Amino acid sequence: MVDAPAGLAGRVRPLLSRLPDLRGSARALRSPREPGRGAEDARPLAPAALALDPIEKKPFFHVLPGASALSLGTAGCNFHCRWCQNWEISQSRPEEVPASTLTPEAVASLAARKGAPVVACTYNEPTVFAEYALDVAVASRKEGLRTVVVSNGAIREEPLRDLCAVLAAYKVDLKCFSERTYREQCSGDLKAVLDTLRRLAKTKVWTEIVVLLVPGLNDSEAEVTALARFVRNEVGPETPVHFTRFHPTYRLTNLPPTPVATLERARAIALAEGLAFAYVGNVPGHPGESTYCPGCKARLIRRVGMATVENRLAKGACPDCGRAIPGVWS
């Protein structure tokens, strides 16, 4: 799965157009400014994308299977990934994309009215609207809702700590396991992301990891093995890892889609290295989309694409052998 809005000219824009005009009532949040840009160049942040998605689209596989998530994103990112699926908003400045101001309380209220038990900060990087995300999480908690974040993991310790106090789950896109690839392909920093994963491991916030496997860039057996060992040893062996399929896009259109066999090999490596929950993503109907009991190997949650079609969990445990399955199930 790729957590992308369904086209800014599709169902996202009409949903925004139906929102009340609340400009002036939301906190004026600002994107990090480029050197030399004055305060007059920064505009208040507001959702540029808003949609009701299945939680599996984020993807979260161990968070309220089958639930809907009111998903929102603004504009901007602290990375510049050449394969970004959401580049129309993530690689834009706030003043460059249409948006509708929406208070955190209005976000929570809208989610409740839509019957969505989850609010997801996603599509672009939530770190650039961390204060807004924090306020949304606080407001959502008051409505009895959970808030999750879909992030590249490049966030400083203090704002991460503040967010973790009110979040239910945090998904990190681990782009690769090479500092050079991070720098050349994403303008990012591997160490910063690994530090975030280490910090998340010390919190009570449920964490999942996505690795988009790009042919020739991050899909070698050695790199996948090193990544799996890091997760096992420093994040936790029961942390779900999703190996997802790349499709040519944005500035990386010269490479083919990831072969399914490459995803299957990565999943097999992760399982062999001791990870309990390794998944194949962006291959609808593949057996690797489903959740299996690490104890008796029974299939517990069957998924097809972004849909959960069967959930056999009994109070967070395997109904066959009783083995506890970690996650946010209720």
Mean of the per-residue pLDDT values of the chain: 89
pLDDT tens for each residue of 144-166: 999 999 999 999 999 999 999 99
User: Exposed, middle or buried: residue 40 (CB in 10 Å: 0-12, 13-18, 19+)?
Assistant: exposed
Q: Considering the domain boundaries, does residue 328 fall inside one?
A: no
Query: In whole angstroms, how far apart are CA 152 and each of 70, 125, 182, 326?
Result: 20, 7, 11, 23
Structural domain includes residue 197: yes
Neighbours of 87 (CB within 10 A): 18
By DSSP bridging, strand 118-121 and strand 206-213 are unpaired
* DSSP states of 3-48: ---SIIIIIHHHHHHTS---TTSS----PPPPTT--GGG------S
Q: Please determine, for residue 38, whether its predicted confidence score (pLDDT) is greater than 80.
A: no
According to DSSP, the residues that pair with 243 across neighbouring strands are: 211, 280
pLDDT at 45: 56
Is residue 175 within 8 Å of residue 81, measured between CB atoms? yes
According to the model, what pLDDT value does residue 101 have? 86
Residue 85 has pLDDT above 90, yes or no: yes
3-state class of 284 per DSSP? coil
Domain presence at residue 56 = yes
Identify whether 161 is part of a domain. yes
- What interhelical angle do 157-164 and 130-142 show, nearest 10? 10
Task: Classify the C-alpha dihedral 25-158-50-168 as positive or negative.
Answer: negative
Q: Could you give phi then psi for residue 327, rounded to 5 degrees?
A: 160, -175
- Please report the pLDDT score of residue 280 as a whole number: 98
Q: 218-238, pLDDT tens digit by residue?
A: 999 999 999 999 999 999 999
Decide if 284 is inside a domain.
yes
On whether residue 330 sits in a domain, the answer given is: no
Instruction: Write out the residue range of the structural domain in which residue 158 sits.
Output: 7-23+43-311
pLDDT, one tens digit per residue, over 244-263 is 999 999 999 999 999 999 99
Number of domains observed in the structure of the chain: 1
Any domain includes 321:
no
Task: List Cα–Cα distances, 2 to 6, 53, 297, in angstroms.
Answer: 11, 11, 27
Report the percentage of the chain scoring pLDDT > 70: 87
What is the reported pTM? 0.89
Q: Could you tell me the CATH number of the domain that includes residue 77? A: 3.20.20.70
pLDDT value, residue 95: 84
Does residue 317 fall inside a structural domain?
no
Q: What is the pLDDT of residue 249?
A: 96
What does the alpha-carbon distance between residue 159 and residue 182 come to, in Å, rounded to a whole number? 22
How large is the average pLDDT for residues 50-73?
97
**pLDDT for the residue 13:** 43
Residues 191-216 have pLDDT tens digits of 999 999 999 999 999 999 999 999 99
